[in-house]
Amino acid sequence: MSYRNVNGSGTAGAPRPGGPLDLQQLRTFLAVHRSGSFTAAAQLLRLSQPTVTTQIRSLERRLGHPLFERLPRGVAPTAEANDLAARVAAPLDALEVVAGGEGEGASASPAPLRVAGPAEVLHALVLPALAPLVEGGVRLRLRTGPAEELLEGLRRDRHDLVLSAVRPRGRTLVAEPLADDESVLVAAPSWADRIGRDRLLRQGASALCAVPLVAYDEELPLLRRYWRQVFGGRLTCAPAVTVPDLRGVMSAVAAGAGVTVLPRYLCRGALAEGRLVALLEPEEPPVTTLHLVRRPGVADNAHLEEVYRRLLSAACTG
């Protein structure tokens, strides 16, 4: 359902289409467009939801057409809304920079930067890259969780940055490819000897039928993708062990629990030390792209750009 002239086109005193546009209404519109929700926009702007609704309705009356349609969760922009957002986003963001630089709180310490992502990514990439910034005043609050849950939290201003292997859909978030990393089929040396590389090359996935599988959840997404792309078939076995953290999966496999698939960045050290063995080295292994995701526009946190650049640099040199 869209918001269509709720007061009626003949209501006395209603703003006419084509009248001058109010900057605050445009700012509210852009927050709704980017967050995909009146509630989330209200939280971002520190306004009540009825105030946001009133401002959007007033802007729609001035423009003479609806801007958003209700969805089961949030709202969807109309074509006219997308066009308006494309025209006003850059000027409004520039105004935010000017206004933010001269506010009374300009000299105050920025709030802690909220970074979220998979636990193993925070451990292997984020903390080593950002730890040196702490001495310079950067404060960090790290969170973990499922990718879709973290992306939704970013939309609702619960995080400032999210590292995600899932690329967000729509315009409410901006995703920068951070790193491509290949998946590796690994086992402890004892299992590698029992399986045998030559046998695995000859028999393919059938050589692993009697080998326990270790994964981070029951759906085995990394394993299933590897089976599909490298072996050309479906994986139908259930995991013998699940650990909701790829570092735990790696530890279990290194201790002899069975076979798993890991991103190479995570197991590179264990491979070099001989605690794990790559069972295959396919010419085209599955590749996962890690994205650095944030909300578009100007951030309130002065350290965000510094952290953003540091993570991009760390991914390039890692």
The structure tokens 């986003």 sit at 89
Query: What is the model's pLDDT at position 298?
Result: 55
Per-residue pLDDT reduced to its tens digit, 233-252: 999 889 999 998 999 999 99
Query: What is the model's pLDDT at position 17?
Result: 54
Per-residue pLDDT reduced to its tens digit, 49-102: 999 999 999 999 999 999 999 888 788 889 898 889 888 887 887 777 666 544
Question: Any idea which of 114-118, 145-149, 171-175 has the lowest mean pLDDT?
Answer: 171-175
Residue type at 83 in one-letter notation: D
Residue 41 CB coordination number (10 Å): 28
Q: How many alpha carbons fall within 13 Å on the CB side of residue 201?
A: 8
Percentage with pLDDT > 70 across the chain: 87
Query: What SS3 string covers the chain?
Result: CECCCCCCCCCCCCCCCCCCCCHHHHHHHHHHHHHCCHHHHHHHHCCCHHHHHHHHHHHHHHHCCCCEEECCCCEEECHHHHHHHHHHHHHHHHHHHHHHHCCCCCCCCCCCEEEECCHHHHHHHHHHHHHHHHCCCCCEEEECCCHHHHHHHHHCCCCCEEEECCCCCCCCCEEEEEEEEEEEEEECHHHHHHHCHHHHHHHHHHHHCCCCEEECCCCCHHHHHHHHHHHCCCCCCCCCEECCCHHHHHHHHHCCCCEEEEEHHHHHHHHHHCCCEECCCCCCCCEEEEEEEECCCCCCCCCHHHHHHHHHHHHHHC
Question: Any idea which of 43-52, 102-111, 179-188, 267-276 has the lowest mean pLDDT?
Answer: 102-111
Query: What is the model's pLDDT at position 317?
Result: 65
Query: What is the model's pLDDT at position 100?
Result: 57
**Is the pLDDT at 107 greater than 60, yes or no?**
no
CA distance 114 to 216: 25
Percentage with pLDDT > 90 across the chain: 51
Average pLDDT of the chain, as a whole number: 85
**What does each C-alpha distance from 105 to 42, 95, 99, 109, 302 come to in angstroms?**
21, 17, 11, 9, 12
Handedness of CA 71, 73, 74, 76 (dihedral sign): negative
CA distance 267 to 276: 8
CA angle, 164 as apex, 160 and 167 as ends, to 5°?
105
* pLDDT, average across residues 250-268: 96
What six digits make up the tokens of 73?
């969760």
